Each structure stands twice: as structure tokens, then as C-alpha cells.
Amino acid sequence: MSIFSNRTKVTPVAAPAAENAAGSAAGSVAGGVANPPAEKSDEQWRQELTPEEYRVLREAGTERPYTGEYWDTHTEGVYQCRACGTELFTSKEKFDSHCGWPSFWAPLAEGNVKYIHDRTLGMERVEVRCGNCDSHLGHVFEGEGYGTPTDQRYCINSVSLKLVSADDAAE
């Protein structure tokens, strides 16, 4: 089932057609290890995140295009949720969409992200959130004509991500 069908839902929707089996009820799977769900108070999030991270991750803000740390990065590695460390995307699925934000054609594992219909700003979009801590990551778009295996573009805020390079992970 596509995440773009039945646009009348307000609750999280089904995963994209090109889904991977992953995740669990106890928390999302990151590199094969389950992360306990991140349950923190608003005050705890404010203490742990910078004001910009808080605005984007906890208040569903958006960073300006072409300003984020990873919009034009080609480093091999895994992109984690900046708020809780859940592994979300890899560099293997990252592509140059020239939109000003990091773009991926699929998440690392469907259980690590969730989808919510977003009707803000007078548009119908599908918001992407961390499946573990419910932080806002960005949006996913379909049918834009990119030559990717899923015909989807996960347009993700750099400030929502932390890149762990393949070199750093090997240490």
C-alpha cells in the first residue's frame, strides 16, 4: 500500500510500497539493536537540543534550503536521528535532487520512520517522523520524475540528522 493513498487519514499511514521489514513494538531497530522509545518532557528536549534543533525536530519547523550541513554531502555512512540516535537513512539511498535539502529514495528500515498526513500551509503532504522519538524529519514526495527505484523523495532537514561516516563507524 502506498503512503499516498487515502489522503483523508490524519493518523500515521502505511509504509511506502518499497518497504523493508524492520522495527518492533518495543522501539525502532537501529543497526539490529532495538532502541527503547524516547519519552522525554518538553523541558528535557529543550535542554538537550539547540534552539534550531528544537524548532525543527520538536515543533516541525523547516531549515532554509541550501543552508543545512548535509544537503550536498556525499560521505558514505548512516544518517541517525539527531534527537535520539535511531538510524534512519544511509548514503546508499541518498541522491542529488537539487532541492536544497538532503534527499533519499527510501529509509533504512520502515519501522524507523513513521508517516503523518500534513495539511499545514494549505498543502497536502506526507510528513516523515522518527519512529522512535516522534521528531519531525521532513516530508516525502512521490511522482516527481526522479530516476530512483521508488519514485519517492524523502526531503529531510539536515538539522534533524547526524551523519556517522563509514570511517567513524569502523573505529
Q: How far from 102 is each of 73, 75, 106, CA to CA, in Å?
A: 8, 12, 12
Q: Is residue 155 annotated as a catalytic residue, yes or no?
A: yes
Find the catalytic residue in 81, 84, 130, 155.
155
Q: What was the pLDDT predicted at 155? A: 96
In the prediction, which pLDDT does 12 show?
37
Around 101, how many Cα atoms within 13 Å sit in the side-chain half-sphere?
Answer: 21
Contact between 158 and 50 under an 8 Å Cβ cutoff? The reply is no
Task: State the pLDDT at residue 120.
Answer: 83
**What is residue 78's predicted lDDT score, i.e. its pLDDT?**
97
**Alpha carbon distance 116, 118 (integer Å):** 6
Per-position pLDDT tens, the chain of length 171: 455 543 333 333 444 433 333 333 334 344 433 455 668 889 999 999 999 999 999 999 999 999 999 999 999 999 999 999 999 999 999 999 989 999 999 999 989 999 999 888 788 899 999 999 999 999 999 999 998 999 999 999 999 999 999 887 766
CB-side exposure of 97: number of CA atoms within 13 Å?
Answer: 26
In this predicted structure, what is the pLDDT of residue 11? Answer: 34
